[in-house]
Amino acid sequence: MLGFAARRLAFAVASVAAVVVITFLLVHAAPGEPMLGTADRTFASPDVIARQRALFGLDRPLPVQFIRYAGNLVRGELGTSFVLHRPVSSILAEALPHTLLLGGTALVASLLLGLAVGALQAARHRSRTDTLLGAATLVFYSVPVFWLGLMLLLVFGEQLHWLPVSGMRSAALEDGSALARALDVARHLVLPAASLALVQAAAFARFQRSALVESLAGEHIRAARAKGLPERTVLLKHALRGALAPTITLAGLSVPYFLAGSVLVESIFGWPGLGRVAYDAIFARDYNVITAVALVSGVLVAASNLLADVAVALADPRVRLER
Amino acid sequence: MLFAAAAVLAGCARRPATPGAPVVIATTGDADVLLPPVTSVTTGINVSDLLFCRLAELKLGLNTVDDSGFRPVLARSWDHPDSLTIVFHLDPRARWQDGVPVRAADVAYTFAVYRDPAVNAPLAPFLAAIDSVVARDSLTVAFRFRRWYPEQLYDATYHMRILPRHLLDTIPPARLGAAPFGRAPVGDGPYRFVRWTAGSEIVLAADTTWFLGRPGIARLVWRVTPELATAVSTLLAGEADAMEVIPARGQLERVQHDTTVRLVPYPSPFYAAIVFNLRRPPFGDRDVRRAIAMAVDRPTVVQSVFGPFAQVAAGATGPMQWIWSDAIRQLPFDTAAAARALEARGWRRGGSGAWRSARGAPLAFTLLVPTSSGVRQQAAVLLQDELKRFGVDMRIQPLEFTVMERRTQTGDFDAAFISRTIDPSPASLLQWWSPGASDNIGRYADTTFASLTSAALRARTRAEAAPLWREALGRLNEEAPAIFLFSPRNNAAVSTRLENVTIRPDSWLATVTTWRVRETGSGARGRHTGQP
Amino acid sequence: MSPWRAAARRFGRNRAAVVGAALVGALVLASLLGPLVTPDPLAQPDPVRLQDRPPSAAHLFGTDPYSRDVLSRTLSGARVSLVVGVGAALLAVTLGAGVGLVAGLAGRRTDQLLMRGVDVALALPRIILLLAVFAVWERVPPVAVLGVIAATGWFQTSRIVRAAVLSLREADFVVAARALGAGGAGLVRRHLLPHVAAPVIVSASLDVGNIILLEAGLSYLGLGVRPPTPTWGNMIMDGKDVLFSAPWVALAPGCALVLTVVAFNLAGDGLRDAFDPKVA
Amino acid sequence: MSAPAPARAPLLEVRDLAVNFMGFDGVARAVDGVDLVVGEGETVGLVGESGCGKSVTALAVLRLIEPPGHIAHGSSVRLEGRDLLALGGKEIRAVRGNHVALVFQEPLSALNPVLKVGDQIAETIRAHEAVTRSTAHWRAVEMLAAVGIPDAERRAAAYPHQLSGGTRQRVLLAMALACRPKLLLADEPTTALDVTIQAEILELLDDLQKKLGMAVLLITHNLGIVAERTRRVYVMYAGQIVEEATTERLFARPAHPYTEGLLAAIPRLDVRRERLQAIPGQVPPATAWPPGCRFHPRCPYAWDKCRSEMPPLLPVGEGQRARCWLVNEPQRKGMK
């Protein structure tokens, strides 16, 4: 068990390191320049830009830049944003919780919805319900998340005015009660979270359905029925638990999806999270921010895979006790 | 399930239409840092402009030459003891928002910060003519210039916003931009800083004790909505009240159809042009440049891309500048004249109608267009079409903004579709068109233009200077180092609940202290109450 | 009946799978023939006023803000999606199968090295890396997009193939073939490839849809295959700016995307069930 | 008709049971008109090769056939006279595991891998009797002890994969017997086990049967097991009963050529033979039963009539019946 954990941890560290090295090399070796102090001021003189390059050490050879960066990283310093003039760590510290709120909500919602739909389909295997839900999940599974976001925005934001079209909270509510503010954030959360969740819920449902169908075809399910257990117990206690472990693994593996989705969806809905930071940084060539976002994503992905392993072990005694 | 939740949440928290409700400004981009010497994005500039004051402000006319074009702010008055000195007398009522009075030492410190290479302020080059800034006593500060010129007052006041020395002088200049001050600044302006949620909103509150009078709007909120269409939607839905400029025709038309938001047009500080690289053949030849320029039907292109929302550029200036005039000499759209000019230089039309030089080389070039600009890409396609019909093969190469910058700066291009944001002083156009200037990417050099502009720079009044500038711009048009294509007509969108809205073209919120919120119970605000 | 024939029969009996395969065929045809019957996707029919126009008889799906015909651009955009989707899936599978075979057949040390590498690679956030790659590259030809997507998408396949090879290595018929002197390439070609082919084909076909979505996401951000080459992703990007005033601009490419991915997923599901009939 | 009378009043009475599976290749008639009777406390064998429909028959008794399979109209399954096929969902569940229990052949797959074995037994008890959780647990432990598992208290907390094959089968038995059923359907209860443990389990089954006074339908392909432990035997082939008889008589005078073949395949100590004689050919697929007698393609005695007309179960005498035209024309047996 310990050996396994150590090995697993070593992989996580190695993959995060690989992410940092690859990203660093990619962005620095690329053609083009970061937007240094120019942005909306189109009259920045070349002198100003040259001095800016020197201030950020971009005039040094790439290996020197890398060693400096790595050195800073080991000391826990992520550098300064070229564009925002801020420590990258404080940018991430501000954006990350917002993305965790959005991604976390979407993950939980998609798991609940996906498991429910998948279970319903499996319980009514080969029925009309199964077919209809199967068609629906197939379509949502095939929808590009950014397009779904745009369509939800168009219908529920612009046409029906049910929900706010952008941002994380209403400007006027700064003095409202805590509950009113929380509700306000929740309203803003619905559309972006739904965009992310519906697609992933379809993936979970498809997976859960086939896992459950396979599990339901198992002899122990027949045995459970033969014992005279009610169908609900058979489904929820016997079939679902067996099918849960692969779904948990899938949930862990879905974290990169939510990260990538946040890059697409946060911009659409003006959600001030990591995805927006990444999006802006990529287009401004804000090297330090890009690399740091990749680092954070790497850590999140590695951590979620680790977590999924632990959760699987908890759900399945065979895994838990073998190690 | 999600939709059920959506239905529950829908419509429970609509914005109340109380008089004290903030005025919300929709913006597509967040600020970078709220420190005037360092900030370089629109929202950062707009917000910090309301937090920090200048010594004096331009009046609405944007007359940069005469002292009468300015009104006092931090400086109660100023005088010119000699041709190289301006002495400012500070208003003793001016206070930093932490209670410390604004003093001459702050002004001297500010000048040092702007000029410090470690701070690397983008505006530093504009202060090059100022030799020193010295505090004579606590309320008197003297600017010493290296040479005499009429726009001394403009340069002394326009580029710098005064900073609080007592809060900043312990920070090393190189770290000023990254210091916490830029995230929670203390200023001396009509508004004070309340809160900034990155990527989301910036909140300012009126300083009710401001020495020049309490601002009309109690609270200003900048709300970041990255997508333009969505930002416009927040305006139409009453979630936002104003937007600096609506840069796309489709969105403008949406606002036009709405009764709760109106468009406020103002002259734009912007022009777009196709700059030729004179180092590369055939653009070294003035007549070829002129021929290509005359082969382009600019009004049709502009009408086609913008409809009524832009005008043909009269030259290397924008409608905002006082030198702008339709009377500036421009090349006509005249393909026959263009053809004659080319033939005179030995070019011949081939079988397909394409021009070939005496050596048989086709008249062809590549135009760089930034991917960031949809309208320029549209216009480029139309130009390509027009030039093709005339017999010129123009290829379009879309490039990412920074890559295009680098290629134009290093001279690696045939022609580039650039845009320029000008400031109120016509002197600023020299950095692009005078020989040897840093941003003269096409390497245009003409002694006639140079002597005309230097005469214009020495003129003591606007009335004297304007004809000289216009003559210089006419010369530039005739030389055709570029095709000056369009200037958009800027339109701010403002809620009808805002009154007394005036806009100074170079800085749209410069007069926001005089804007008012109409006090009605619940006017048009609750228009979209959103019943499911 | 050979397992291949049996699989083909099962596929043929699966109505959804046949519909998916037919849709895929129709899309390929439409993308090839479409440009012959619709206006040039790059040309503006009306240079006097560039404008998005609602669907009409002249422009069945309307025009985009540049006055370009949305229908012809949608058909033309199918090519990028299909080429990148199918091409990258095939390339990735080939790469993965190659590495998997090497790992499975080569010595323990090579195997360990390769698989540790694959473990780490699988933990990389692929999409963030792709964003970084394409954001810093300028003009990217579709082939390069295809290559990069494939280069970051073969890891899972290599694992599947390696596992299949390892299990087959000890199988009687392989041992027998070896004993009879078959070795190296012959062994791989005659005995191993046919057996690992099924899972590989299934994983490739299920990957096509995902890759199409991936490419569309990149294009939507303005990365990867860039304008003016029409892709469904960059068409949706154009449509986003006029979403509320001209929703048809984003609607057509979006529906085309969904339809295409649905078609590939249907066909992929069908292939999986055909090769592996125990779950249905 | 001189059907063999069961020793006591019939506990289970299956009449004309047919189970069909819908498939791509058409309808598979897995069970096709089976009649079967088990008396109270009686042990009856159901014998046949795999694929003959014997397991499906057992599942059909408890209505555990899942789509795409279904029990055909006109079938009847009566338990103590009650038509199980007419019961509602709740009522049939009250029968399952309570009055009639099923023991599966593969204990590892029949037990839920992620639940403790004690809990799996306890949940059966709690499904049928209003007892507390702790009572159920206590009874489960008792049951485990009753099936001869040492240290039952600790083993109750084990997961299936932690137990040996024999122990798992004992657990399965304990689970089946937890509610003291009147009838146990034992489907190949020992196939997965090695020979010594097989014997132990069967002994245990005998013991428990006597103790609890229940009836057992022992389903197996192994005639050896049947010989030792049953009073009567049904032989199944291709979805039909092809022969029924008392065990003694079946072994002494098999009337159906198929039974004959099965008997010839048993290794016997008393008869020395060159080699075991297996029945040539394979069981045909259930979607395409041959016309006439379903056994005729493999039958050494088949003649024209066998190929065209399906024989009914013909009485042979003394409670023996066989589905074979030879019963009427025994002389033909010698012709080949």
Predicted confidence (pLDDT) per residue in D73-118, tens digit: 888 888 888 888 888 888 888 888 888 888 887 777 888 888 888 8
Is-contact B20 B218, C-beta < 8 A?
A: yes
- For an interface test with A, give the residue of C128, C137, C221, C241 to mutate (most A CBs within 10 A): C128
Q: What is the pLDDT of residue B17?
A: 45
Q: What is the pLDDT of residue C48?
A: 52
CB < 8 Å from A in window 183-202 of B: 183, 195, 197-201
> Mean pLDDT score of chain B, rounded to an integer?
87
The verdict on a CB contact (< 8 Å) between D97 and A226 is yes
Q: What is the pLDDT of residue B7?
A: 46
Q: What is the pLDDT of residue A29?
A: 73
Question: Where are the domains positioned within chain A?
Answer: 100-286
Which residues of chain D make contact with A229, given a CB cutoff of 8 A? 93, 97, 123-124, 127
Type and span of the H or E element at C156: helix C155-169
| DSSP letters spanning B12-47 | SSPPP--TTSPEEEEESS--S-S-TTT--SHHHHHH
Q: What is the pLDDT of residue A108?
A: 93
| C129 has a pLDDT exceeding 80 | no
Is-contact B439 B431, C-beta < 8 A?
A: yes
Q: Is C279 helix (H, G, I), strand (E, B) or coil?
A: coil
With CA atoms as reference, report the closest residue to B123 among B49, B31, B25: B49
The size of chain C, in residues, is: 280
Q: What is the pLDDT of residue C269?
A: 86
Is-contact B232 A155, C-beta < 8 A?
A: no
Task: Select the residue of A46, A168, A176 nearest B200 (Cβ to Cβ).
Answer: A168
**How far out from the chain centre does Cα B208 lie?**
30
**Pairing assessment for the beta strands B393-399 and B364-370 based on DSSP bridges:** parallel
- Contact residues for D308 (Cβ-Cβ < 8 A; gap 6+): D291, D292
- Contact residues for C43 (Cβ-Cβ < 8 A; gap 6+): C68
Q: What is the pLDDT of residue B467?
A: 93
| A39 has a pLDDT exceeding 60 | no
Mean pLDDT confidence for A14-35: 77
> Mean pLDDT score of chain A, rounded to an integer?
83
Q: What is the pLDDT of residue D24?
A: 67
| B159 has a pLDDT exceeding 90 | yes
Cα A299 to Cα A20: distance, rounded to the nearest angstrom = 10
With CA atoms as reference, report the closest residue to A234 among A248, A215, A210: A215
* A138 Cα to chain D: minimum distance (Å): 23
Task: Select the residue of B40, B400, B431 nearest A32 (Cβ to Cβ).
Answer: B400
Per-residue confidence at C261, pLDDT binned at 50, 70, 90?
Answer: very high
| B187 has a pLDDT exceeding 90 | yes
In chain C, the largest separation of any two C-alpha atoms, in whole Å, equals 79
Is-contact D185 D77, C-beta < 8 A?
A: no
Cα A229 to Cα A233: distance, rounded to the nearest angstrom = 6
CA-based radius of gyration for chain A: 24
The verdict on a CB contact (< 8 Å) between D112 and A220 is yes
| DSSP letters spanning D150-192 | TTHHHHTTS-GGGS-HHHHHHHHHHHHHTT--SEEEEESTTTT
Q: What is the pLDDT of residue D302?
A: 81
Mean pLDDT confidence for B342-362: 87
Per-residue confidence at A97, pLDDT binned at 50, 70, 90?
Answer: very high
Q: Do chains D and A touch (3 or more CB pairs under 8 A)?
A: yes
| C278 has a pLDDT exceeding 60 | no
The size of chain A, in residues, is: 323
Look up tokens 């969902």; give the residue: D89
The verdict on a CB contact (< 8 Å) between A228 and D124 is yes
Mean pLDDT confidence for B142-154: 93
* C137 Cα to chain B: minimum distance (Å): 10
* A226 Cα to chain D: minimum distance (Å): 5
- The ipTM of this complex is 0.79
Higher pLDDT, C208 or C67: C208
Q: What is the pLDDT of residue B92?
A: 95
Q: What is the pLDDT of residue C251?
A: 92
Amino acid of residue C128: I
Mean pLDDT confidence for B483-500: 92
Q: Do chains B and D touch (3 or more CB pairs under 8 A)?
A: no
Most confident of A41-45, A107-111, B437-441: A107-111
Higher pLDDT, C119 or D43: D43
Peptide bond into C228 cis (omega under 30): yes
Is-contact B366 B395, C-beta < 8 A?
A: yes
Task: Select the residue of B40, B183, B221 nearest A171 (Cβ to Cβ).
Answer: B221
Cα B382 to Cα B528: distance, rounded to the nearest angstrom = 40
> Mean pLDDT score of chain D, rounded to an integer?
82
Amino acid of residue A104: G
- Contact residues for C135 (Cβ-Cβ < 8 A; gap 6+): A27, A282, A283, A285, A290, C223
| DSSP letters spanning B128-188 | TTEEEEEEEETTEEEEEESS--TTHHHHHHHS-----HHHHTTS-GGGTTTSGGGGS---S
Angle between helix C248-275 and helix C232-241 axes, rounded to 10 deg: 150
Q: What are phi and psi of B296, to 5 degrees?
A: -100, 125
Per-residue confidence at B35, pLDDT binned at 50, 70, 90?
Answer: very high
Sequence-ordered alpha helix ranges (H) in B315-414: 335-344, 374-390, 401-409
Per-residue confidence at C118, pLDDT binned at 50, 70, 90?
Answer: confident
The verdict on a CB contact (< 8 Å) between C124 and A290 is no
Which residue of A lies nearest to D108 if distances are taken between CA atoms?
Answer: A220
Mean pLDDT confidence for A175-190: 85
Cα B39 to Cα B46: distance, rounded to the nearest angstrom = 10
Higher pLDDT, B328 or A2: B328
| B233 has a pLDDT exceeding 80 | yes
**CATH 3.40.605.10 assigned to A100-286:** no
Higher pLDDT, D329 or D95: D95
Lowest-confidence segment of B281-290, B467-476, D7-16, D293-302 by average pLDDT: D7-16
Per-residue confidence at D27, pLDDT binned at 50, 70, 90?
Answer: confident
Per-residue confidence at D1, pLDDT binned at 50, 70, 90?
Answer: very low
**How far out from the chain centre does Cα D257 lie?**
21
Per-residue confidence at B407, pLDDT binned at 50, 70, 90?
Answer: confident
| C132 has a pLDDT exceeding 80 | no
Per-residue confidence at B191, pLDDT binned at 50, 70, 90?
Answer: very high
* Inter-residue long-range contacts of D159-164, CB under 8 Å, 24+ positions, other chains counted: D159/A317, D159/A318, D159/A321, D159/D113, D159/D114, D159/D115, D159/D116, D159/D117, D160/D107, D160/D108, D160/D111, D160/D112, D160/D113, D160/D117, D161/A317, D161/A318, D161/A321, D161/D108, D161/D113, D162/A321, D163/D117
- For an interface test with B, give the residue of C44, C49, C50 to mutate (most B CBs within 10 A): C50
Per-residue confidence at A33, pLDDT binned at 50, 70, 90?
Answer: low
Mean pLDDT confidence for B499-514: 90
Would you call C248 an interface residue with chain A, using a CB distance cutoff of 8 Å? Answer: no
In chain B, the largest separation of any two C-alpha atoms, in whole Å, equals 79
Per-residue confidence at A193, pLDDT binned at 50, 70, 90?
Answer: very high
Per-residue confidence at A100, pLDDT binned at 50, 70, 90?
Answer: very high
| A171 has a pLDDT exceeding 80 | no
Q: Residue B112 burial (CB < 10 Å; 0-12/13-18/19+)? A: middle
Is-contact C223 C148, C-beta < 8 A?
A: no
Mean pLDDT confidence for B75-98: 95
- Contact residues for C106 (Cβ-Cβ < 8 A; gap 6+): none
Task: Select the residue of D62, D109, D112 nearest A226 (Cβ to Cβ).
Answer: D62
Which residues of chain D make contact with A220, given a CB cutoff of 8 A? 109-113
Would you call B12 an interface residue with chain A, using a CB distance cutoff of 8 Å? Answer: yes
- For an interface test with C, give the residue of A146, A215, A280 to mutate (most C CBs within 10 A): A146
Lowest-confidence segment of C200-209, D15-24, D273-282 by average pLDDT: D273-282
How far apart, in Å, are the Cα atoms of A321 and each of A5, A237, D107?
Answer: 14, 20, 20
| D2 has a pLDDT exceeding 60 | no
Is-contact D246 D317, C-beta < 8 A?
A: no
Would you call A214 an interface residue with chain D, using a CB distance cutoff of 8 Å? Answer: no
Cα C74 to Cα C68: distance, rounded to the nearest angstrom = 11
Cα D111 to Cα B149: distance, rounded to the nearest angstrom = 96
- Percent helix, strand, coil in chain D, to 5, is 35, 25, 40
- Contact residues for D240 (Cβ-Cβ < 8 A; gap 6+): D32, D33, D34, D53, D294, D323
With CA atoms as reference, report the closest residue to B269 among B17, B35, B507, B22: B507
CA-based radius of gyration for chain D: 21
SS3 for B423-474 is CCCHHHHHHHHCCCCCCCCCCCCCHHHHHHHHHHHHCCCHHHHHHHHHHHHH
**Pairing assessment for the beta strands D183-187 and D215-220 based on DSSP bridges:** parallel
Running DSSP on this structure, what letter comes out for residue D327?
G
Kindly state the percentage of chain D with pLDDT values over 90: 2
Task: Select the residue of B124, B239, B421 nearest A42 (Cβ to Cβ).
Answer: B421
- For an interface test with B, give the residue of A48, A59, A101 to mutate (most B CBs within 10 A): A48
Q: What is the pLDDT of residue B525?
A: 42
Cα B12 to Cα B7: distance, rounded to the nearest angstrom = 10
| D325 has a pLDDT exceeding 90 | no
Q: What is the pLDDT of residue D64?
A: 86
Per-residue confidence at A31, pLDDT binned at 50, 70, 90?
Answer: low
| C208 has a pLDDT exceeding 80 | yes
- For an interface test with A, give the residue of D112, D159, D172, D188 to mutate (most A CBs within 10 A): D112
| B528 has a pLDDT exceeding 70 | no
Is-contact B274 B417, C-beta < 8 A?
A: yes
Task: Select the residue of C48, C52, C138 nearest B304 (Cβ to Cβ).
Answer: C48
Residue B532: CB atoms within 10 A of its CB come to 13
| B329 has a pLDDT exceeding 70 | yes
| A142 has a pLDDT exceeding 90 | yes
Mean pLDDT confidence for D153-160: 88
How far apart, in Å, are the Cα atoms of B346 and each of B480, C4, C86, C108?
Answer: 19, 72, 53, 75
Q: What is the pLDDT of residue B146?
A: 95
Cα A276 to Cα A266: distance, rounded to the nearest angstrom = 6
Is-contact B502 B255, C-beta < 8 A?
A: no
Each residue of C23-40: pLDDT tens digit? 989 888 888 887 776 666
| A148 has a pLDDT exceeding 90 | yes
Which residue of C lies nearest to A291 if distances are taken between CA atoms?
Answer: C132
